[in-house]
Each structure stands twice: as structure tokens, then as C-alpha cells.
Amino acid sequence: MAEPIAKDIPADATPNVSEVEVVDAATEEEAVVALDAPVERGEPILQVRNLVKHFPLTQGIVIKRQIGAVKAVDGVSFDLHQGETLGIVGESGCGKSTVAKLLMNLERATSGEVFYKGQDITKLSGRALKAVRRNIQMIFQDPYTSLNPRMTVGDIVGEPYEIHPEVAPKGDRRRKVQELLDVVGLNPEHINRYPHQFSGGQRQRIGIARGLALNPEVIICDEPVSALDVSVQAQVINLMEQLQDEFNLSYIFIAHDLSIVRHISDRVGVMYLGRMAEIGSDEQIYEHPTHPYTQALLSAVPVPDPEAREQRERIILTGDVPSPANPPSGCRFRTRCWKAQDKCSEEVPLLAIPERFKGADTPAAHESACHFAEEKDVVHA
């Protein structure tokens, strides 16, 4: 049933991601069965290949003409391994939230594939898609808009069971919901309360309980703590780490806070203007960044330590992020990059281990989409 396929990879894609073992399910029945197959720890569970999402820009009211496209995600590839946390960082407009929506099938990809256990979920529909939804869940950024204000906590956390009745028999649901509330640190007796009776951190716990209800294997977290207070952030982060161990979850953790991403992630990808600029283990990215954008981003993070701060080198970027509707040619970062040369406007840098580090036994040898990649430590004094 499984057969590796060779893919036709465009010039700007990632050449050295592993090949996907595609599961070819002929019927929906087979597809659903394949989704239940276990994945070994450390093996890829989610494989994203050349993912593209363009939002058309239209003009006219009655007859709409397309006059361009916002290239929110423009050829992103990565693997998520079972049991790990992959952090995705980047500034607003880099496309990281769109990636989350594409992985969740909340938006239809313009092109590219997302393989979950070898099946391309961007092509699924009906029962097979519903089965995928059981296994991939999401935690949203805003705990105020992600819970229906007209539903009680019990209804919100229990809704997954109404949609997937096979997971829990009817009589069992209330008990299961209360168990979930307990797991995320809420009082199970509050099952009949409404969301607005809870604080932001508690609401985020409700969202997490809803995400856990169907026993998913992958959870996509889109800025799960950025709306929370500092002291509450730590509680939620700790809870998420504890749940990962307990339920053997794989996380994709999307955030703009680089310190939190480092804390929780095993591997980190840095996105800029719809593309992946650099990806590697947390140590590779934070201690040995080779892409100038990563270096600038890390150096700009305010550190709660005035002395370390004064000694750290800071790279202050000039200008703003260009519009994703009209991205620069070649390397997208070149308009703000201090290293940019003619080559950068002519040739798209591939996300690959830079030539100079290839084969070398150094943490700098990780994938970086820069023609002039070189290592630079910016987080230490």
C-alpha cells in the first residue's frame, strides 16, 4: 500500500527534506483505517511539502477581477516528528498563522501537500477528513473569541463528543468532560458556567480541554499564551508540557515570543514573509543562527537582565516588512539585510545546509535559506 514517490520540486522549494512515504488509500474506508496506525516516537507524523497559500486580491463589486494575490505562505516544507514540539516563529504577516490554518484544513491550500501518516490531508474530504480532525487539534490564540459565549463550559468541552459520538457513549460524556476539566486544572464543578465567568488563563485551559477531548496525536498551538499575563503564561506552558508527556502529543507551537518558543520547542523554524528562513534544533537556532534575519530577530528580543543587555550586540533592522502581495525578488529578506548583494535579488536562496558547513561537525550545519550564511551568536553577552 505504501510506496515512495519522487516529487517534482520547484526551484524555491526545500531540496533536502526526507521523502514522504505516501499511503495510497483507494477508499475512504482504507483511509480511515490508515489514520489509526501508530507512529513510532521520533518518526515523522506530519510532513509538510511545498505548502502554498495565495489569497486573491480582487477588484470590482459585481464582476470580480483578480488583480493580484497576497502570498501569505509561499512554499513551506518541514517535518513534525512524533512526540516533539516544533516551534514556528516570525513576525506578524510572516504567514505562520496561515500555516496553522492550512494544517487544520481550515483554509484550502493553493498548492502543496500536508501528509499526516502518509496521507495528503489537503485532498481529503468527508469521513476521512473528519477522522483526521479527530487526530489533529488546535489551540487558538485569543481565549476571548475562541469560546462560544452562548455555550456553557460543559457544552464547549463536550461538543467534540457530539460531533464524534463514537469516541464516547452518551452517558459517559459528562464524566469525561469533568475529567478533562480536572486534567487542565479547572474545577470540574464549574461545568455549567459560561466562558466570561473565567479569567483569560482559565479560558485558555478550557480551550486546551476541548482540544484534548478527542485524544488527538498532534496539536497545533497558534500563539496559545500571547494573550495571557506573564504569571499565567508560565502556568499554561507548564500545563502544556505536562500534557505532552502524559498523552504523548506532538506540538506545533506557533508564537512570536522567542523566549517561550525556545523554552518549549525541540526544533524551531523561523519564517519570514511566507517562507522558512532557517530551521534546526533549538540549540542550532538560538546559539548558532546562520540566517541574518534570525540573528536580527534574536538580538532584538528584550532580555529581562539589564547587565546582559548592555553587553549584547543588537542588530537594529531598518524599515518594515514588505507587503506579502508584492514580495521582493530573490531573497525576501534582502531589502532589510545588511549583507545583501546583487545575487540576493536574482537568486532565491534554498533552505538547505549552507555549502560551507556541509559535512562539518558543527551546530551551524543546519538548514538556512541564505546565500551568505555565517554563524553569529547574538543571545549571549
Partner 1 sequence: MSEQIIERPVPADGPTAKAPDPGGKPERVASLWRDGWYDLRRRPMFLISGFIIVCLLILAVAPGLFTSRSPFSDGFCDLSHSMDGPRSGHWFGYDVQGCDIYTRTVWGTRNSIIVGVVSTILTTALGGVIGILAGLWGGWADSLISRVSEIFYALPILIGGLLIMSMVGSSNVWTVAVVLSVLGWPQVFRIMRGEVIGNKYNDYVAAARALGAGPLRIAFRHILPNTLAPIVVVSTMNLGVYIAAEASLSYLGIGVQSPDISWGLMISDAQDRWLTSPHALLFPAGALSLTVLAFIMLGDVVRDAFDPKLR
Partner 2 sequence: MTIIEDAVPAPRGSDEETAPLLEVRDLHVEFHTREGVAKAVNGVNYTVSAGETLAVLGESGSGKSVTAQAVMGILDMPPARIPRGEILFRGQDMLKMSREERRKIRGAQIAMIFQDALSALNPVLTVGYQLGEMFRVHNGMSRKDAKARSIELMDRVKIPAAAARVNDYPHQFSGGMRQRIMIAMALALEPDLIIADEPTTALDVTVQAQVMDLLAELQREYQMGLILITHDLGVVADVADKIAVMYAGRIVETAPVHELYKRPAHPYTRGLLDSIPRLDQKGQELYAIKGLPPNLLHIPAGCAFNARCPKAQDICREKVPALFPVTEPDGTELPGRGSACHFWKETIHG
Binding of residue 210 to partner 1 (CB under 8 A): yes
- 230 belongs to the binding site for partner 2 (CB under 8 A): yes
The verdict on 289 binding partner 1 (CB under 8 A) reads no
Q: Does 343 bind partner 2 (CB under 8 A)?
A: no
Residues 52-71 binding partner 1 (CB under 8 A) are 62
Q: What is the dihedral of CA 234, 240, 244, 246, to 10 degrees?
A: 90
- DSSP class of 332: T
CA triplet 215, 220, 223: central angle to 5 degrees? 130
Residue 356 CA to its chain's centroid (Å)? 29
Closest to 374 in 3D by CA, of 263, 286, 288, 284: 288
Q: Which stretch binds partner 1 (CB under 8 A): 28-36, 131-139, 292-300, 327-335?
A: 131-139
Single residue of 131, 258, 344, 364 touching partner 2 by CB under 8 A = 258
Residue 238 binding partner 1, by CB under 8 A: no
Q: Computed from CA positions of residues 70, 54, 12, 355, in that sequence, does the dihedral angle turn out positive or negative? A: positive
Cell of 305: 537582565
Please identify, among the stretches 44-52, 208-216, 316-324, 359-367, the one whose residues bind partner 2 according to the rule CB under 8 A: 316-324
Whole-angstrom CA distances from 111 to 17, 52, 108, 133 are: 17, 5, 9, 20
Distance, CA of 152 to CA of 195 (rounded, Å): 7
Stretch that binds partner 2, among 44-52, 54-62, 126-134, 310-318 (CB under 8 A): 310-318
Does 308 help bind partner 2 (rule: CB under 8 A)?
A: yes
Binding flag, residue 256, partner 2 (CB under 8 A): yes
Of positions 87, 95, 201, 274, contacts partner 2 by CB under 8 A:
201
Q: Which of 88, 296, 337, 340 binds partner 2 (CB under 8 A)?
A: 296
Strand partners, 114: 48
Number of residues that bind partner 2 (CB under 8 A): 47
In the list partner 1, partner 2, none, the entry touching 365 (Cβ below 5 to 8 angstroms by class) is none
- Residue ranges of alpha helices (H) inside the chain are 28-35, 96-103, 126-135, 153-163, 173-183, 200-212, 230-247, 258-264, 282-287, 292-300, 306-311, 342-346
Q: Which does 9 bind (CB under 5 to 8 A by kind): partner 2, partner 1, none?
A: none
Binding site for partner 2 (CB under 8 A): 91-92, 199-202, 229-235, 237-238, 241, 256, 258-260, 262-264, 282-283, 286, 296-298, 300-309, 314, 316-317, 319-321, 379-380
